[in-house]
Structure 1
Amino acid sequence: MEMNCISKIAGIGAYLPKQRVTSDELMAEIASTRFGTPENYISNKIGIIERRMADEKTLASDMAIMASEVALRDANVQAHEIDLILYCGIERDWQEPATAHRIQAELGATSAIVLDVTNACHGFLNGISIADAFIANHSAQTVLVCTGEKQSNLTYEAIDQLKKLSSKEEFRKRLGGLTVGDAGGAMIIQRGNEHSGFQKMNFMSDGSHTNLCYYKHTDSGTQGQMLMREITVQILRLHKMFIDSTYELLGWQPESIDKLFCHQTGAKPHQGMASLAHQPINKAPITYDNYGNLTSASIPVNMFLNRPQRGEKILIMGTGSGLSVCQSGLIF
């Protein structure tokens, strides 16, 4: 699906917990050598050295709120000026009501309507597209798109399960739970102009791959798997199918791109995304090494830490289990 866009990023914010936990420490805790896997496998082969983990009292919404406060200051926007709040995290405070209600209350965004958007790691880009649609039909002028990911909950669950298991196949299914990190991300989205803003968004979904990455809560705990190698193959396949058409839609050549921001799960997938987009790796800032897979917070955190310059042409490549992908052109 091709989408014409009229919005821009007016402000970016991020929150990263202070606690650092290395991959080697996690692998040592589960005694990974039992599965024939060295303790440095994640750090050496996947490229994730460490990640941030929030304390047990921190909620997903807390991280979204702190990131949103930074984004508001960056955009020079007051909370009462927000018309719409979209919370896009996988992790939510509760199933009902929408977590966005707490974010509205804590920020004091009394004029905003709120809702949650969820689509795995792809949720944040879906949130931006919804924000753009509200702005395009003049229903909103200022939209807060935010997320908070406390994926350490998944990590702790994976550790508990792996300590009880000895099967290499079960280890492979749950290894992805040790690669994620906690973070909050936020953007203020407003109407753009001919000099700045999202130009196009190009979406594709393929629901035949839902089994590759999922988790759900059952009476006996969390059940799921993350088949990292298989996911990477299919994600790269989908992106490759329409990268040329995205460049054609934008009227851009690969060499005109200043920066590439893409969802990151590790070194090889990141290199693969840059390669199929015909971009040198030095144009694609990384976050996976020190922060792990930040799920839906990946894009905003990366853009916050590696902020583009005004006027730069940005290619964004989003990914989510299911599978869903998005390619977007942005003049920052």
Structure 2
Amino acid sequence: MSIYSRVAGTGSYLPEQRLTNQDLVERLAKSGVETSDEWIFSRSGISARHFAAKNELTSDLALKAAQAALASASASADEIDLIILATSTPDHLGGFPSTACVVQDKLGAHNQCAAFDVQAVCAGFSYALAIADAFIRTGTYKKVLVIGAETFSRILDFQDRTTCVLFGDGAGAVVLEASTTPGILSSALHADGSQRDILCVPGRAAHGGVEGSAFMTMDGQAVFKLAVKVLEQVAHEAIEKAGLKPEQIDWLVPHQANIRIMEGTARKMGMSMDKVIVTVHEHGNTSAASIPLALDAGVRSGQIQRGQHLLLEGVGGGFAWGAVVLKY
């Protein structure tokens, strides 16, 4: 009998601090940086974002999203065989101990399940989901907690209005479990390290300090051009591998980076924006958290229904991109 993986539950969490564009405009003005609500919204589709509190860590956001996903799946922490956490903003410098291990402890998962982080920036959740699916299909694990969580506000340069207005903090999670009926139908993952400089944090840890800048930098035009191209390609690849046609996709759940990228992808896919889950206006770009945040929003709003086909896709620094097709 074939083993498949299916999404048993979803969850998400956004920090309490919500900043509208105008809130951010006023904050930046105090530092001599000029921008406007109209400038931000017209270029990105973003109206607001959430920032973690000073004492809130990535693991804290991940914990709350994980707890919501476990409740949705009617599962306990001790039932989880593996925790995979996608993040570019881990709790600890150098990424160890892994934030996944910290979440395991905070969850009270005392069964010593495996736990590790995945770093593929905004494509991280797609990568993590594909990895979890592979583990389940081989029979290695039966129930996997997959999380995307970020505190991007900690790596933003608030003197650079082209980047600091685009990102936010948050976390989303799914419980993936073994099933006799297909859930995840296909995945497609790619990367091109030659494009690593167009979106990166160039600094390096060096003898107790930082060599170079610890802030994120981005070539917006280059990222936009590459993102629209590769997202269309990987979407078609994943849909074909799933044995489906684009018109059979009920919902596109994309990485919420920029409304124009999302519109461009939908247009190239021949899909109406009515079939796209959009949360970028309220969340901003939450990197690895954006897909599971949007997925949970679609589920909890009643838009996404059991039995529907979903296309999840993301692209980010590395440069890395990926797509997953699943029957929810």
Asked whether the two chains share a fold, i.e. TM above 0.5, the reply is: yes
Aligned partner of 1:70 among 68, 71, 85: 68
Q: What's the CA shift for 1:134?
A: 1.6
- Which deviations, in whole Å up to 9, do the C-alpha atoms of 1:131-180 show, x marking residues without a partner? 1122122221111111321111123xx11xx1xxxxxxxx4xx6223211
Identity among equivalent positions (%) equals 30
**Number of the residue aligned with 2:25:** 27
C-alpha distance in 2 between matches for 1:146 and 1:243 = 22
Do the aligned partners of 1:121 and 1:321 also contact (CA within 8 Å) in 2? yes
Q: What's the CA shift for 1:35?
A: 7.7
Worse overlay, 137-146 or 21-30: 21-30
Q: What's the CA shift for 1:317?
A: 1.6
**Number of the residue aligned with 2:290:** 298
Q: What's the CA shift for 1:239?
A: 2.5
**Number of the residue aligned with 2:198:** 212
Q: What's the CA shift for 1:38?
A: 4.4
From the superposition, tell whether residues 64 and 37 of structure 1 become closer, same or farther in structure 2 (CA, over 3 Å): closer
**AA matched with 1:330:** L
Aligned partner of 1:313 among 303, 309, 313: 309
Q: Is 2:191 the counterpart of 1:193? A: no
From the superposition, tell whether residues 86 and 31 of structure 1 become closer, same or farther in structure 2 (CA, over 3 Å): same
| Number of equivalenced pairs | 314
SS at 1:140 equivalent:
coil
Structure 1: any 5+ residue segments left out of the alignment?
163-170
C-alpha distance in 1 between matches for 2:193 and 2:141 = 31
**Number of the residue aligned with 1:225:** 217
Q: What's the CA shift for 1:91?
A: 1.0
C-alpha distance in 1 between matches for 2:236 and 2:18 = 39
Q: Is 2:147 the counterpart of 1:146? A: yes
Q: What are the residue-to-residue correspondences of 1:87-166 with 2, within 5 Å? A: 87-94=85-92, 95-111=95-111, 112-155=113-156, 158-159=157-158, 162=159
SS at 2:267 equivalent:
helix
Worse overlay, 57-66 or 200-209: 200-209
**Number of the residue aligned with 1:267:** 259
C-alpha distance in 1 between matches for 2:235 and 2:43 = 27
Worse overlay, 305-314 or 196-205: 196-205
- Which deviations, in whole Å up to 9, do the C-alpha atoms of 1:35-92 show, x marking residues without a partner? 8854531123321011011110001000000110000010011111111111211111
From the superposition, tell whether residues 40 and 187 of structure 1 become closer, same or farther in structure 2 (CA, over 3 Å): same
Do the aligned partners of 2:3 and 2:180 also contact (CA within 8 Å) in 1? no
Q: Is 2:81 the counterpart of 1:79? A: no
Do the aligned partners of 2:150 and 2:171 also contact (CA within 8 Å) in 1? yes
Q: Is 2:323 the counterpart of 1:327? A: yes
Q: What's the CA shift for 1:278?
A: 1.7
**Number of the residue aligned with 1:280:** 272
SS at 2:187 equivalent:
strand
SS at 1:265 equivalent:
coil
From the superposition, tell whether residues 176 and 192 of structure 1 become closer, same or farther in structure 2 (CA, over 3 Å): farther
Do the aligned partners of 2:186 and 2:239 also contact (CA within 8 Å) in 1? no
Q: What's the CA shift for 1:6?
A: 2.5
Do the aligned partners of 1:235 and 1:323 also contact (CA within 8 Å) in 2? no
From the superposition, tell whether residues 183 and 314 of structure 1 become closer, same or farther in structure 2 (CA, over 3 Å): same
SS at 1:322 equivalent:
coil
C-alpha distance in 2 between matches for 1:271 and 1:257 = 16
**AA matched with 1:76:** S
From the superposition, tell whether residues 204 and 130 of structure 1 become closer, same or farther in structure 2 (CA, over 3 Å): same
C-alpha distance in 1 between matches for 2:117 and 2:166 = 25
- TM score, norm. by length of structure 2: 0.89
Do the aligned partners of 2:126 and 2:312 also contact (CA within 8 Å) in 1? no
C-alpha distance in 1 between matches for 2:29 and 2:165 = 13
Structure 2: any 5+ residue segments left out of the alignment?
204-209
C-alpha distance in 1 between matches for 2:289 and 2:51 = 14
Do the aligned partners of 1:200 and 1:329 also contact (CA within 8 Å) in 2? yes
Worse overlay, 268-277 or 64-73: 268-277
**Number of the residue aligned with 2:207:** none
